[in-house]
Amino acid sequence: MSKKEIPEVSFFRFLKHATNILKNPLPFHHNNFEEHGDTFRLKIGLGKSVIFSRNAYLAEYVLQKNQKNYSKSSIQTKDLAKYVGHGLLTAEGDHWKKQRKLIQPAFHKKQLTLLLDSIHNAILTELNKIETDTEIDVFPIFNDLAFQTVVKSLFSSAVGEKDIARLQYITEAAQKMLVRELRQPFLSLWFKYGGEIKKHTDLTDEARVILKKLVKARKESGERENDLLDMLLDARYEDGNEMDDEQLIDEILILFTAGHETTSNALTFAAELLARNPESQQKIFEEVTKAKQETDSLMGFIQSCSYTKKVIEETMRLYPPAYFIDRVNLEADSFEGMEIPKGSNLLFSFYEIHKHKSHWVDPEKFDPERFSDSDPYLHTPFYAPFGAGPRKCIGNNFAMFEMILAVAEMVVNYKIAPKSDPIEILPLITLKPKNAILRFQKR
């Protein structure tokens, strides 16, 4: 196969657009994709570059078919890890394999069934706080809902509101600091020696103290809550040993970071899309009303809400919470004539893959029916809202159950209307909504 050169975007162009990239890098990347094709190399400094790609087949090759030659980049294994520790999201190699095998059973559908009452109650409590007949920013509501759901699933009712608020603040502050580090690499010395990084790692230490207190209280109580904390405390490695407290706290911090952020984003975007598509609201209302009449089981209810699930899937296609996935190759590689030197940084834009005109009909249109019940993998590898391959998000079932319950309860209790201006996006570590102003009317 003939050799293909990867088109290059200069450091000068990167620097020229630095201010706009800090606010929202997606238009910059989109323009480069349109000009240079589905894969290009961006120079970001002296001898430093990143390969950006929206080639779904290259993503599939890296994340699945040849995944053993690719590891996560230092963005997660070092930069993020200094704030959340070395849990599943940031771990690599044998340590990751060991943790994944240990924790996987806690997220099995049978185990998650035990958490549905807690999840449902947390959702109802937060949705009851929605103000009606006035324009409100819905993101804080869904942000609190998603964080409360993770907290209640982990700790049942053992954590106070003051601690919850503090943990939420610390989780979000760390993410904002990491975004500044990644988008302003030329200020790295200032961040390090000016005390900004230390200020945020000190906050993380504070969060660890709160969590250790909660874990200690559970162990000393001798009581079982059948929540995620119990499942993690019960987990045993192959040698029969349990997780030590430091590793347990790392995993809990990862659950806070990954478990609430992506869900609150997706729910906010879903509410916006439903506000602009009242016929979809009506379909969900009819589906949910019927399901509530036919079953008392929460799992049965979730399984009955097939159209609601399609709405969530289509929301995550248009607004994938994990909009970029990064990898570094351990050895030199090639794909369809494209040489990938050892140690290359690759960033896959699932925001672009999910809207690629070659793979999707009318990609900008909100169309839940494009997702078929009979073939949920129809669009693979063009659809990966939870990642792909062995590193696919371990909490994908948890997140889907939570989002189906949240959207179902929201629509059966409220009619949603949009404001005149559409929602904006704020790409941080995840794809966040901005100015999500909607109006709710009690049904």
Count of alpha carbons within 13 angstroms of residue 175, beta-carbon side: 21
What is the CATH code for 89-324+360-442?
1.10.630.10
Residue 378 confidence (pLDDT):
59
pLDDT at residue 26 greater than cutoff 80: yes
AA identity, residue 404: I
Report the greatest alpha carbon distance in the chain: 67
pLDDT at residue 291 greater than cutoff 70: yes
Stretch 103-131: mean pLDDT: 92
pLDDT at residue 9 greater than cutoff 90: yes
- DSSP label at 339? E
Question: What average pLDDT does the chain have?
Answer: 90
The pair of structure tokens assigned to 372 is 């078929």
Measured from the Cβ of residue 101, the count of other Cβ atoms closer than 10 Å reads 12
Burial class of residue 233, CB neighbours in 10 A (0-12, 13-18, 19+) = middle
Residue 184 confidence (pLDDT):
79
Core vs surface per residue 113-145: b (16+ CB within 10 A) or e: eebbebbbebbeebbeebeeeeebebbebbbbb
Stretch 287-316: mean pLDDT: 96
Report the DSSP beta bridge partners of residue 246. Answer: none
The pair of structure tokens assigned to 134 is 């006035």
337 falls in which pLDDT band (50, 70, 90)? Answer: very high
Measured from the Cβ of residue 377, the count of other Cβ atoms closer than 10 Å reads 8
Of 203-212, 241-250, 371-380, the least confident: 371-380
AA identity, residue 68: K
Residue 186 confidence (pLDDT):
78
DSSP 124-165: HHHHTTPPPSSEEE-HHHHHHHHHHHHHHHHHTT-S-HHHHH
pLDDT at residue 372 greater than cutoff 90: no
Higher model confidence: residue 155 or residue 319? Answer: 319
Which residue, among 19, 25, 440, has the nearest Cα to 271 in the 3D structure? 440
363 falls in which pLDDT band (50, 70, 90)? Answer: very high
Measured from the Cβ of residue 207, the count of other Cβ atoms closer than 10 Å reads 24
Residue 373 confidence (pLDDT):
64
pLDDT at residue 379 greater than cutoff 70: no
Residue 226 confidence (pLDDT):
86
Q: Domain residue spans in the chain?
A: 89-324+360-442
Report the DSSP beta bridge partners of residue 48. Answer: 45
192 falls in which pLDDT band (50, 70, 90)? Answer: confident
416 falls in which pLDDT band (50, 70, 90)? Answer: very high
pLDDT at residue 259 greater than cutoff 90: no
Residue 28 confidence (pLDDT):
95
pLDDT tens readout for residues 261-280: 889 999 999 999 999 999 99
- DSSP label at 79? I
3-state DSSP helix/strand/coil percent for the chain, to nearest 5? 60, 15, 30
pLDDT at residue 376 greater than cutoff 60: no
52 falls in which pLDDT band (50, 70, 90)? Answer: very high
CA distances from 129 to 15, 265, 279, 440 (A): 44, 18, 25, 11
Higher model confidence: residue 317 or residue 89? Answer: 317
323 and 384 Cβ atoms separated by less than 8 Å? no
258 falls in which pLDDT band (50, 70, 90)? Answer: confident
